[in-house]
Amino acid sequence: MRRLFPALAVAALALGALPTAASAYEIDILTRRPLAPGGVAADGRPKAAAIQRETVAYGGAHAPGTIVISTAERRLYYVLPNKQAVRYGVGVGRPGFEWGGTKTISQKREWPDWTPPPQMLKRRPDLPRHMKGGIENPLGARAMYLGSSLYRIHGSNEPETIGQAVSSGCIRMTNDDVTDLYDRVKVGTRVVVIR
């Protein structure tokens, strides 16, 4: 299992550098050492393939500034002017935790704390009752809270889950991608989730 080293990645973003999937910002979480050239961990495990962020043509009916999430496609679109959008890979709710609808971003947090909701603790009593924000926190580098729901768009320290249906309903992004989106959106941004 590999995780991004967010402090370096965020610093690189601040300087305008965008790390790639095979960048030096990835470490092997088991050894805390940088991945070898080619993204191979010390024990020979292959690096998880990243879904690259890109600007694409967008023909949908949503206004610029809207976030559109296609759970079937496992992609998030941030709509830009001139019929374009930034497309990100995301992880979505696993079977039984899918949802759709329209929400708004009600709060934004950098390196958020995490308190698992009671429903999750019933399913997973082994989880901590509260976890301070940081590299080990499952919400990752940034979180955008969706209305008064339990759902968030948040970072993940498990990039191999991006493009998968594995969450309890939250939308997961790599820490690099969630930081990019976080800087683009405001509280009140409309979020449309399509199943």
Catalytic residue among 170, 181, 192, 193: 170
> Can you point out the beta strands (E) in the chain?
2-4, 26-28, 33-34, 54-57, 67-70, 75-80, 84-89, 92-93, 101-110, 142-146, 152-156, 165-167, 171-174, 190-194
170 as an active site residue: the answer is yes
Distance of CA 121 to the CA centre of its chain: 22
Catalytic residue among 154, 167, 179, 182: 154
36 as an active site residue: the answer is no
What is the distance between the alpha carbons of residues 185 and 105, in angstroms, rounded to a whole number? 9
Tokens (6 digits) for 95: 């079977």
- 125 Cβ contact list (under 8 Å, min separation 6): none
Q: Which residues are identified as catalytic?
A: 154, 170
